[in-house]
Amino acid sequence: MSHESISVFDMFKIGVGPSSSHTLGPWRAAGIFLQSLENKNLLSEVTSLEVLLYGSLAKTGIGHGTDIAVQLGLSGDDPVTFDVNNIASKIDDIKSKKKLLLNGMHEIDFDPNEDIEFLYTETLPYHPNALTFLAAFKNGEHLAETYYSIGGGFVKKEGEEDDQGSNVILPFPINDADDLLHWCMKTGFNISEVVMENENTWRPEKQTREGLLKIWDVMAACIYRGCHTPGLLPGGLNVKRRASSLNKKLLADKAYEDFNSWITAIRSGGNNFKYILDWVSCFALAVNEENASFGRVVTAPTNGAAGVIPAVLAYYIIFYADDANDNPGNIEDKIIRFLLTAAEIGSIFKKGATISAAMGGCQAEIGVSSSMAAAALTECLGGTQRQAMMAAEIAMEHHLGMTCDPIGGLVQIPCIERNTMGAIKAITASQLALQSAPDYAKVSLDGVIKTMWDTAMDMNSKYKETADGGLAINIPLSLSEC
C-alpha cells in the first residue's frame, strides 16, 4: 500500500507569523515559482509579474499578511532566516519605489496595489487557498503557475502529483493510527522510537536530534520574547498583549536575566493548580501574540495553533521533567521524545483529514495541535502507546466542529485565546488517558480523524477562515479584547 512519507521537520517548520497557510505557504510558493523560473532560465527575462489570490487567501489575505509574504518570497528572502524586524521597511520600500528585485537579482516594475489582486468571489476547486503567478517576458510570451497552500506551510503546485516523499522508503510506513500501533506492538518501540527510526531514513540521528533541539530553541525564544513584550497587536483591533503583564504578575519581583534563570524563577513559585494553569496560559498567549505580530514562530502544525505545543512542552519541562539528578542531556532526550511523538500524530491527521482551517475550520488547527500535544505529553509521562493515542483522540473529540471565524481576518480574536484552551485540553486529555484503560475506549483515534474530516466536509464555508461568519461578522472591528 502506498503511503505519504512526512518527516518531523515537515510538521515543525521555523517561519514567520501570523499564518502557516496564508503567510508561510504563499511565501514558500513564491520561492518555488522563482526556482521554476530559474530552472527555465527565464528569471532575467521577466518584464512584469502579477499575483492572483483566490478564496480564503483573498478574503483574509490582508489580515494574514498574504500580500506581504508574497513580496518577501518573490524577493528571494528565506522565512527561516529573514530578520522579522526588517519586514515593514522592506515592504514600504517596495511600495514607495514600485520596484521588486526578483530573487534579489533582477529588478522589475511592481506596484503591490495593482499587481497583487484579491479575487474575493473566486475559488479554485482543489483547495480554498490558491494563488497564481502570471509572468510576462521580453519576447512577449507569458507563463502562469498556480499553487495551493494546503495548511501547515505545505505547498502543492497545480498539475503535480501528490508524491511527496515517494522516493523515501520508510522502515515503518504509517498512514493511520492503526499502522502506528501495529509497528509499536511488533517492535516493542514507543511512538517516538518508531518515528526516530523513520527519520533515520532521511538523515543521521545526530542531525535529527540537533534539528529538534533547534526547533525547541525557537519555541522557547518565542515564549520568552512574548512574555516580555508589552503593547498592542498590529492590525487595527487594538488587542492588548497580555502575556507580558501576566508574567510580571506571576513572578512579582523575582530576578532573572535570561531564559534559563527565568525558568528557575518560575519553578520557585511552587506547583499549585492555579499557578500552573496561569503559566500554561501565559506560554500559549506569548507565542500567539508573537505570531500575530509577524514574529518568529514554529509552525506546530500551523501558525494559528503555534502556541499549544510550546506551552505544553514548557509545562512538562518546568513542572515535570526537571529533576535534581537530571543533566542537560536527559532534558534534551525528553524534548526530542515529545516532539517526535507530537509530529507523528500531526502527520496522521494530515494524511487522514486536514491541518488547514480553510478546509476544516479551527478543529484542523487547534484541535490537531491539542491532539499532538496530548499524545506527546502522555508518552513522556510514562503512558503506553495506546494511552498516547487515546489522549490524542480525547483531545480532538472535544474540538470537533470548531469553526475558524477570525475577526477582521486577523489571527488574534479568537485565535490567541484558543491556543490557551487547546493547551489545557491537551493536558486534561493526557491525564484522562493516563488514568484510563484503552481497552474500554469507545472511540479510536482513526475514528475521530474520520469524523473530523466528515465534519469538515459538512461545515459551511463561511466558518472556514473566510471571515464571512461567526465572530467575524458579529463583533464590531473596533472592539478591543479585554
pLDDT tens digits along 277-302 = 999 999 999 999 999 999 999 999 99
> Cα(132)–Cα(29) distance, rounded to whole angstroms?
10
**Does residue 169 register a pLDDT over 80?**
yes
What pLDDT shows up at residue 480? 42
Q: Could you please report the per-residue DSSP string of 82-111?
A: S-GGGHHHHHHHHHHHTEEEETTTEEEE--
Q: Do residues 149 and 201 share a domain?
A: no
Q: Is residue 257 part of a domain?
A: yes
**Does residue 247 register a pLDDT over 60?**
yes
The pLDDT tens digits of the residues spanning 30-47 come to 999 999 999 999 999 999
What pLDDT shows up at residue 253? 87
Which pLDDT band holds residue 399 (cuts at 50, 70, 90)?
very high
Q: Do residues 130 and 273 share a domain?
A: no
Count the domains in the chain: 2
Last residue of a domain, one of 128, 157, 186: 157
Which pLDDT band holds residue 91 (cuts at 50, 70, 90)?
very high
Which pLDDT band holds residue 478 (cuts at 50, 70, 90)?
low
Which pLDDT band holds residue 479 (cuts at 50, 70, 90)?
very low
Which residues, other chains included, contact 69 with Cβ-Cβ below 8 Å and sequence gap of 6+? 16, 22, 23, 24, 26, 27, 30, 79
**Does residue 164 register a pLDDT over 60?**
no
Range of the domain at 298: 177-474
Q: Do residues 310 and 342 share a domain?
A: yes
What pLDDT shows up at residue 482? 36
What pLDDT shows up at residue 330? 87
Q: Is residue 57 part of a domain?
A: yes
> Cα(66)–Cα(79) distance, rounded to whole angstroms?
13
Q: Do residues 130 and 218 share a domain?
A: no
Helices (H) and strands (E) in the chain, counts: 21, 9
Q: Do residues 120 and 251 share a domain?
A: no
Q: What's the whole-number mean pLDDT along residues 432-441? A: 95
Q: Is residue 170 part of a domain?
A: no
Q: Is residue 392 part of a domain?
A: yes
**Does residue 370 register a pLDDT over 60?**
yes
Q: Do residues 94 and 204 share a domain?
A: no
What pLDDT shows up at residue 165? 47
Q: Are 151 and 359 in contact (CB under 8 A)?
A: yes
Q: What DSSP element (H or E) covers 113? A: helix 112-115
The pLDDT tens digits of the residues spanning 98-156 come to 999 999 999 999 999 999 999 999 999 999 999 999 999 999 999 999 999 999 999 99
Q: Is residue 481 part of a domain?
A: no
Mean pLDDT score across all residues of the chain: 94
Q: Do residues 327 and 247 share a domain?
A: yes
**Does residue 245 register a pLDDT over 70?**
yes
Last residue of a domain, one of 107, 124, 157: 157
The C-alpha cell of 396 is what?
A: 480532538
Q: Do residues 97 and 240 share a domain?
A: no
Q: What's the whole-number mean pLDDT along residues 409-420? A: 96
Q: Is residue 162 part of a domain?
A: no
Q: Is residue 1 part of a domain?
A: no
Q: Do residues 212 and 345 share a domain?
A: yes
**Does residue 326 register a pLDDT over 70?**
no
pTM assigned to the model: 0.93
What pLDDT shows up at residue 168? 84
**Which CATH number covers residue 58?**
3.30.1330.90
What pLDDT shows up at residue 160? 84
In 3D, which of 258, 357, 344, 269 has the Cα closest to residue 309? 344
Q: Do residues 266 and 135 share a domain?
A: no
**Does residue 481 register a pLDDT over 60?**
no
Last residue of a domain, one of 126, 157, 188: 157
Residue reference for cell 499557578: 275
Q: Do residues 134 and 220 share a domain?
A: no
Q: Is residue 397 part of a domain?
A: yes
Q: Give percent of the chain above pLDDT 70.
A: 95
Q: Is 186 helix (H, G, I), strand (E, B) or coil?
A: helix
Q: What DSSP element (H or E) covers 50? A: strand 46-54
What pLDDT shows up at residue 476? 73
Residues in the chain: 482
Q: Do residues 106 and 222 share a domain?
A: no
Q: What DSSP element (H or E) covers 16? A: strand 13-16
What pLDDT shows up at residue 328? 60
